[in-house]
Amino acid sequence: MTQANKKRRVDLYALTWRLPIIVWQFLFFVGPLVFLIAMSFFVVKNYRMVETFELASWERILSRDYFWSSYLYTFGMATFATVLATMLAFPASFALAFKVSANTRRWAMFFLIVPFFTSYLVKTFSWYVILAKTGVVNSLFGYLGLGPYTLLNTWIGTMVGFMTLVLPLLVLLQTLSLSQVDKNLIEAAHNLGSGRFRTIFNVIVPSAKIGLIVGALFCFILSFGDFVSPYYLGGSTPQTLSILIIDTTKSGNQWPRAAVVAICMMVTLFVIAFTSIVFAYRKPKS
């Protein structure tokens, strides 16, 4: 009998609350992104951007090997980061969801939110110092008679940065979805004689599928778009797409070309996001 107090006729009052986001997002979110697409067809003449419709920037970027190698490297790194982070996060999320008290879990969740509000740049700089040839890690290895190892300006450095960026969010999302798995289901699987690992992979993972996939998707989006770790910890060789955008924009002043790279990134992310969401919500075959 609860008839929600929802009105059909749009009135001044309703519009007052509904319009701000529409206006704002069209002006400063949709507008810029649409303009980005338009800009990819502009050309730069005498250091000035001319608003026209030419495919020059598209032809230029898509025909260059450095773009494609950069694309493959970025895609590969993001994929690897996603797989690595998912594997690293899962045992921790599993422990948080099933092995600790509710109170510990609440605190852990709070501490997983904290890194989100701490400067990623400062953390990256910190890693830069820690991972350097004469840094903390190598001096610890030194005590063991090992090293020094080159960790900076390699893919290892980039991965350390990516993990700092994505692990807190990923553990948070995984824990949330794992703690929603019906405990009775797990109990039932145990009673039916299912072993630990079989229970995890046949019962828990499928039940928490959506959360796990959404977590992995965020991982991919973040690592695919990040420029800080590949630049400062990975030494920006090979270049990732984000670094390509920065270089093209900041030094080359070739905004249309940067726009082409940005659109390629957006399309890639859109396809990945769409596929994973379809996959996440697909009904399991019985």
Partner 1 sequence: MIKDGVISFFLKAYLVVLFIFVFAPIIASVIFSFNSDRFPTIPLGSFSLEWYKLIINDPDIAKAAITSIIVAISSSILATFIGFCTAYSDYRYDFRFKGPYLALALLPPTVPLIIMALAMLAWLSKFGLSGSVLSIVLAHTVLCTPFAMAIIRLRLSQMDTSLEAAAWNLGASEWSAMREIVVPFARPAIISSLCLTAAVSFDEFAVAWFVSGLNKTIPVVILEIVQGNIDPRVNAIGTFVFLTSMTLVIIAQVIFMKNQNKGAVSG
Partner 2 sequence: MVNPDRPLVQFKNVVKRFGNFVALKSTDLDIHEGEFVALMGPSGCGKTTTLRLLAGLEKPSEGEITLGGKLMNDVKAHERETPLVWQSLALFPFMNARENVEFGLKMRGFNADVRREKAIDWLERLGMEEFIERDVSQLSGGQRQRVALARALVTEPKILLLDEPLSALDAHLVIRMQGVLSKLQRELGITFVYVTHSQSEAFAMADRVVIMGDGEVMQIGTAREIYRTPKNRFVAEFVGRNNIISGTVTSAHTDTLIVNTACGDFTVSKPDDLVFKQNDPITFSVSADLVTIDVDRPETDNVVQCNLISEEFVGSVVTLFLEAADGTELKVQVQEKELQKINPKADIPYYISWPTLSAHVLDANLPG
**What is the footprint of partner 2 within residues 5-44 (CB under 8 A)?**
5
Name which of 8 and 196 has its Cβ closer to partner 2: 8
Contacted by 127, from partner 2, partner 1, none: CB < 5 to 8 Å by type: partner 1
Contact call for residue 1 and partner 2 (CB under 8 A)? yes
Binding status of residue 102 toward partner 2 by CB under 8 A: no
- Residues between 53 and 112 that touch partner 1 (CB under 8 A): 88-89, 91-92, 94-96, 99-100, 108, 110-112
User: With respect to partner 1, which residue has the nearer C-beta, 204 or 262?
Assistant: 262
Question: Which range touches partner 2 (CB under 8 A), out of 1-9, 127-135, 252-260, 265-273?
Answer: 1-9
| Whole-angstrom distance, CA of residue 206 vs CA of residue 280 | 10
Q: How far apart are CA 90 and CA 209, in angstroms?
A: 12
> Taking CB under 8 A as the criterion, which residues in 245-274 touch partner 2?
none
Contacted entry of partner 2, partner 1, none for residue 1, CB cut-off 5 to 8 Å set by kind: partner 2
**CA count, 13 A, side-chain hemisphere, 14:** 7
Alpha-carbon gap, residue 213 to 199, rounded angstroms? 19
Q: Which does 186 bind (CB under 5 to 8 A by kind): partner 2, partner 1, none?
A: none
Binding to partner 1 in span 36-55, by CB under 8 A? 36, 39
- Residue 113, interface with partner 1 (CB under 8 A)? yes
179 contributes a contact to partner 1 by CB under 8 A:
no
Taking the alpha carbons of 42, 43, 46, 51 in that order, is the dihedral positive or negative?
Answer: negative
Contact 32, 231 (CB under 8 A): no
Q: Which is nearer to partner 2, 5 or 251 (CB)?
A: 5
The rounded distance, in Å, linking the Cα atoms of 148 and 132 is: 9
Check if the beta carbon of residue 231 is closer than 8 Å to that of residue 208: no
Q: Is 114 a binder of partner 2 (CB under 8 A)?
A: no
Report which of 148, 113, 281 is spatially closest to residue 213, judged by C-alpha positions: 281
**How buried is 108 (Cβ within 10 angstroms: 0-12 exposed, 13-18 middle, 19+ buried)?**
middle
Interface residue with partner 1, options 62, 72, 140, 188 (CB under 8 A): 140
Q: Which of 43, 185, 273, 280 binds partner 1 (CB under 8 A)?
A: 273
Which residues in the 189-248 window bind partner 1 by CB under 8 A? Answer: 196, 221-222, 224-227, 232, 242, 245-246
Q: Which residue type, as a one-letter code, is found at position 91?
A: P
Give the whole-angstrom CA distance, residue 198 versus residue 91: 15
* CA pair distance 124, 158, nearest whole angstrom: 10
